[in-house]
Amino acid sequence: MLTEPITVLPGVGKARAKLLEKLDLYTVQDVLFSYPRTYKDYSKVLTPREAELGQTGLYHGQLLNLHEKQLSRNRRVITGRLVGEGGFLVVSWFTTVYRPGFSYQYRQLQKAKELWVYGQVKEGFYGLEIASGEFHLKQPKRLGLVPVYPLVSGITNSMRLNWIKFALKRLDQISECLPREIASKYMDRHQALKTIHFPANHQQLAEARTRLVFEEFFLFHISLGVLAENKEFVVHQPDGPLTKQYFANLPFTLTKGQEAAIRDVRADMESPKQMRRLIQGDVGSGKTVIAEYASVKAIDSGGQVAVMVPTEVLARQMYTRLNKTFSALGIEIALLVGALTPKQQQQILAGLASGEIPLVVGTHALISDNVKFANLTLAIVDEQHRFGVRQRVALSDKGNADLMVMSATPIPRSLALTIYGDLNTTLITDLPAGRKQVDTRLIHPSRRDDVFRFLVQRVKEGEQGFIVFPLVEESEKLEAKAAIQEMELLSKNQLAEVRVGLVHGQMGKEKDRIMEDFYRGEIDVLLATTVVEVGMDVPNATVMIIENADRFGLAQLHQLRGRVGRSDKQAYCFLIADPKTEQAKRRVNVIRTINDGLKIAEEDLKIRGPGDLLGTRQSGEPWFKLADLIEDQPLLEQAAQAARKLLSEDPTLKKYPTLLAEVKRQQP
C-alpha cells in the first residue's frame, strides 16, 4: 500500500527512516510525490574543445598533469587537465585527508586513462575550469536526464532512485484526481509521475511537469474554496478604552500606509463576515503594528488572540515585542514553544482553555488538538508562505476567528491576486519615519578584507552585522565543510577582535541558541551558511555582507538585505561577487539599484523569463513541491480559473469525491 511507512522500502530501517523524516518522507506515497530538485543532463557527451563559459554538461577526455597540493594541515586540492579533440579543461577537486600519503580521491583519479566529468564550466586562473565536478572512471551507464533529489547526510541519490522505482510499482493505487474534462487536456497522471522521475527527453519532461504543476495549482485553489466555509463570526466592538490607550502609548507616528491598513482591519473586524485579510508590506514596513492593533481590539471586545509564526526563534522575538506593548496595557500574554517544561505547557494550555490568557504566541504547535481556547476571535499568521493553507484555516477554526495574514515576501501584484485568492489584500508601501534606505554596494572579491575591516569598525561603535554564505545542500559535505572552514578562518583572523556566532544547516538546537544570543546583543557578528531567518528583527544590526552574492536569487537577496536597516542608523549591504553570466550581472545590478521589494519582484519576472526547466528554482514556494510562482504564472491563472468554475457549480465537491480526498491528503 502507498500509505505504508517508509520502513517497507528496501534498505530502510528505523535509523534511516529517521533521516528520511528530515526530508518530510514518512510513507511510500511521500516518496512518490517527492520530485527531483533538478536534473543532470547526460544526454550529450561533450569534448573539452566544445566547452563554453557557464555551460553545464558531461565532458569526456584524457586526464593529464594530475597533481595533489597541500593547502592546510588536512586540506588539499587536486588539479589536472582534461584533454581531447585539440582542447583542454582544467579540473580540480578539494579533499580532506587525515593520514599520510595521497588522498583516496587522488589514487582513484590516478587509475583513469580517460575520464568523464560533469559540472559547470567557469573562468579559472589557467583558462576554462570545472571545479569539484562529479567524475566517472567509466562512461555513466545512464545517459539522458538523470534526476537529482534533495538529500541529507547518510542518504544518497542512488538510494532515492531505488526507492522511487519501488514506489512506482504501486502506481496503480493512485487515482486520477482531476475532473475528466480537465484531465483530458494534459498528460495522464500515471505517465506524468513516471516521467517526472525518469524522463526520456526534455519534451517529455516539460509535458509531465506541466501536468503536475497544473495539478498542484488546481488543488491549491480548490482547497481555498472548500476550506473557506461560510460561518457566523464574532462582530468585534468599536475601538474601546484599551485600543485608545494603545494608540496613546505609541512612541512614533503611524505612516499613511499603516493608517490605511488599520482602517481596513477595523472595518473587517466590526463586520459580521469573517476577516480574511493579507497585510503585505516590504521588509521593515511596520506590519507588526497592524497585528498589535487588531490584537488589542479583539481583547478589548472580550476575545482571545493566537499569533502563529514559523520558527521558535521568531516566536520568542515576536513574544518579546508584543509583551512590551501589552504589559504597558496591564495585559499578560504567553509564549507556547517546545522548549517549555511539561508543567509550564500545562499552565498555558489551562489558561487558554479558561480564557485567563488573552493572547498566545507560538509555532504550528498552536493548531495541535490539545490547544483549546475559551473564545478565540482573532488568528494572526506571520510570514504565511511557510504554512499550508489548511494550517492557517485550522488556526482560525479553533474559534471561528477573524484571520489576518502577514507576509513580507515580495510577489508581483498579478501573482499576489492569484495566490492569495481567498484573502483581501492591504499593501503597505511606505517605511516608518527616520528609516534610511540601505546603502547597497557591489564589492569585488579582491576587496573582501576592506569590507571586514569596515564591519569590525561598526561593531566597535556598538553595532552588529551578518555575513551570509550561499545556501549549501546538507548532502554536499565537501561544499558545506568548505563554507564552515571559511567561516572559522574568518572568525580567527579578520574578525578576531569581535564576538562571532556561527550557524549552519547541520546544527540542531544550538543554532536557535546562537540566534537568540545574537538577538540579545551577546554576539556581534552572525556568520551563516543558511539564509538568515525571514522576519528576524535586530534593529542594532547595520551591516549585511553576502558572499558569492551572484549565487542567490533576487528574492533571497532582498530578504537578506531586509535584516538590516531596521532603525534610524545608516545600514549597509555589501554584495561580494564577480558575476560572469549576463543574468547574474543583471540580478546583482537590480538589487544594487532598487530597494522596493515589489519592483524587484517585477524585475525578477523580466530577468528570469520562462526560466530554465533543468535549473534549481529560486522563487518556488514551500507549499508547492514543483510549481514556481514566477515561471508558471500562465498555468497558475488557468488553474485558478478552472477551480473557480468548478466550485461555482459544486461548492462541496459532492460529484468529485476523488478530488476532495486528494485535497485533504495534500493539505494535512
Same domain, 470 and 558: yes
Please indicate, yes or no, if residue 31 is contained in any of the structural domains.
no
Say which range, 143-157, 212-226, 503-517, 629-643, has the weakest mean pLDDT: 503-517
547 shares a domain with 423: no
Residues 468 and 424 in one domain: no
What's residue 294's pLDDT? 97
Residue 494: strand, helix, or coil? coil
Q: What percent of the chain has pLDDT over 90?
A: 53
Asked if residue 34 is part of any domain, the answer here is: no
Residue 421 — very low, low, confident or very high, per pLDDT cuts 50/70/90? low
540 and 455 inside one domain: yes
The answer to the question of residue 457 being in a domain is: yes
The pLDDT value recorded for residue 31 is 94
Residue 166, domain member (yes or no): no
Same structural domain, 505 and 541 = yes
Residue 400 lies in a domain: yes
Task: Say whether both 383 and 423 belong to one domain.
Answer: yes
Check residues 198 and 414 and name the one with the higher pLDDT: 198
Rounded Cα–Cα distance for residues 58 and 81 (Å): 15
Q: What is the mean pLDDT of residues 575-583?
A: 84
| Together in a domain, 421 and 524 | no
- CA nearest to 169, candidates 45, 282, 9: 9
**Mean pLDDT of the region 455-467:** 96
Question: If pLDDT is split at 50, 70 and 90, which confidence band does 228 have?
Answer: low
CATH number of the domain where residue 535 is located: 3.40.50.300
**Last residue of some domain: 136, 160, 182?**
136
Assign 3-class secondary structure to 535-596. Answer: CCCCCCEEEEEEECHHHCCHHHHHHHHCCCCCCCCCCEEEEECCCCCHHHHHHHHHHHHCCC
Q: Is the same domain home to 418 and 462?
A: no
Give the model's pLDDT for residue 430. Answer: 80
Q: Which domain holds residue 271?
A: 241-428
Better-scored residue on pLDDT, 116 or 607: 116
Q: How long, in residues, is the chain?
A: 668
In tens, the pLDDT along 617-667 reads 333 344 578 887 767 888 988 998 999 899 989 988 999 999 998 887 766
Q: Which of 505 and 571 is assigned the larger pLDDT?
A: 571
> Is the distance from CB of 379 to CB of 392 less than 8 angstroms?
yes
Reduce the DSSP state of residue 388 to 3 states and report it.
coil
pLDDT surpassing 80 at residue 245: yes
pLDDT band with cut points at 50, 70 and 90 for residue 474: very low
DSSP of 503-526, one letter per residue? E-TT--HHHHHHHHHHHTTS-SEE
Are both 315 and 262 inside the same structural domain?
yes
Final residue belonging to a domain, choices 375, 409, 428: 428
Q: Which of 85, 106, 136 is the last residue of a domain?
A: 136
Residues 409 and 484 in one domain: no
Tell me the pLDDT tens digit for each residue of 248-307: 999 889 999 999 999 999 999 999 888 989 898 877 778 899 999 999 999 999 999 999
Give the per-residue pLDDT at 475: 46
- How much of the chain is in helix, strand and coil states, percent to nearest 5? 40, 20, 40
Model confidence over 482-526: pLDDT tens digits? 667 777 888 888 899 999 988 876 676 787 788 889 989 999 999
Residues 300 and 395 in one domain: yes
Examine residue 196 and state whether it is found in any structural domain, yes or no: no
Kindly state the average pLDDT of the residues 536-544. Answer: 89
Identify which of 224-238, 352-366, 572-586 has the greatest average pLDDT: 352-366
Number of domains the chain contains: 3
Is residue 332 included in any domain, yes or no? yes
**In this structure, what CATH number is given to the domain that contains residue 114?**
2.40.50.140
Q: Is the same domain home to 268 and 389?
A: yes
Does residue 390 lie within any of the structural domains? yes
pLDDT higher at 74 or 500: 500
User: Which of 473-482, 509-518, 606-615 comes out lowest in average pLDDT?
Assistant: 606-615
The pLDDT of residue 467: 93
> How high is the pLDDT of residue 620?
35
